[in-house]
Structure 1
Amino acid sequence: MQINFKSADNNDIELLLNLMQKLYAVDNSLTFNTVLARQALIQLLSDESLGRIWLIQYQNQAIGYVILTLSYSLEYGGRDAFIDEIYIDSAFQGQGIGKQTIKFLEEVCISLNVKALHLEVERENTSAQGFYRQVGFTDHNRYLMTKYLNK
């Protein structure tokens, strides 16, 4: 299946919010807040040093999106990146789009001199874990711990 990746811009915010809402409805651990999501999208779209957003398109129609955020880590020897969100409409899953998306992100990361690419997946989502292992991600047997600030 031939897909393309369109760099998102401010004109895509409503579409991205709709796609995000679909992802959050599938992932029970996420709580969707339109106001916070809109603010975060606007900030990310206005500052490429924070990361990038792409619409995943099939025949010029958005069937998903992916968000890559950028950071820096001494452990990994420099810039690292995080697949913050990835969503592919269920009608298009299982057709190689996820693999194409990961390959695309790897190429982007190499061009940005990123040394390591990370993601997180729910412990219960064993099918996603299997897919991510298949495309080269490994489990470091660490827990991602989070403390929300100013919430």
Structure 2
Amino acid sequence: MTINYQVAAIADLTSLLEFVREFHHNENLPFDENIDRDVLTQFLTDESLGKGWLIQQEDDAIGYIILTLGYSLEYRGRDAFIDEFYLRPKYRGQGIGTQTLVFVEDACRVLGVQALHLEVDFENPHAQRLYHRSGYQRHDRFLMTKDLLAPLL
């Protein structure tokens, strides 16, 4: 089984949008075709935001991973966040997730990234095990988010 990674480009927008729809449905995340298309278009046309890859087995796209770039004083330079990582269910449990994390970590080193972060749902023990086995550790802190587009209550 040969897995390869194709840098996502604007020509891949339709495929990526299909994967985002599947991922958001599986994770009970909001999905709006028009908004998500616009956000993906912005991401794919502005390299300063990060990189995305289609995960392929032979020539078939089986998932995607999105890496967003930031900067951290705590980690002494550029950091990154695995914003979304999705493999279609029939490709899970075969080592592709682990291989993809190694690929992204190598890409981060090339980009000068000092620390790589990700978020995993409390109710997803399979993903938690994958990330833990790959060296990701929990912190004694909470990730807190404020949606700046949401109306104030």
Instruction: Tell me which interval the TM-score lies in, with the shorter structure as reference length.
Output: over 0.9
Please tell me the residue identity of whatever aligns with 1:149.
Answer: L
Please tell me the residue identity of whatever aligns with 1:136.
Answer: G
Partner of 1:74: 73
* Identity among equivalent pairs (%): 51
TM-score of the superposed pair, with normalisation by structure 1: 0.96
| Aligned counterparts of 1:46 and 1:87: Cα–Cα separation in 2 | 21
**What's the CA shift for 1:119?**
0.3
Please tell me the residue identity of whatever aligns with 1:57.
Answer: Q
| Aligned counterparts of 2:27 and 2:149: Cα–Cα separation in 1 | 24
Partner of 1:138: 137
**What's the CA shift for 1:141?**
2.3
Between 1:113-122 and 1:37-46, the stretch displaced more is 37-46
TM-score of the superposed pair, with normalisation by structure 2: 0.95
Please tell me the residue identity of whatever aligns with 2:4.
Answer: N
Partner of 2:61: 62
Residue segments in structure 2 that go unaligned for 5+ positions in a row: none
Note the alpha carbon deviations across 1:2-49, whole angstroms, 9 max, x for none: 100001111111111111111111112x11111221111111111111
Residue segments in structure 1 that go unaligned for 5+ positions in a row: none
Please tell me the residue identity of whatever aligns with 2:11.
Answer: N
Partner of 2:12: 12
What is the aligned length? 150
* RMSD over equivalenced CA pairs, Å: 0.9
**What's the CA shift for 1:150?**
2.6
Partner of 2:46: 47
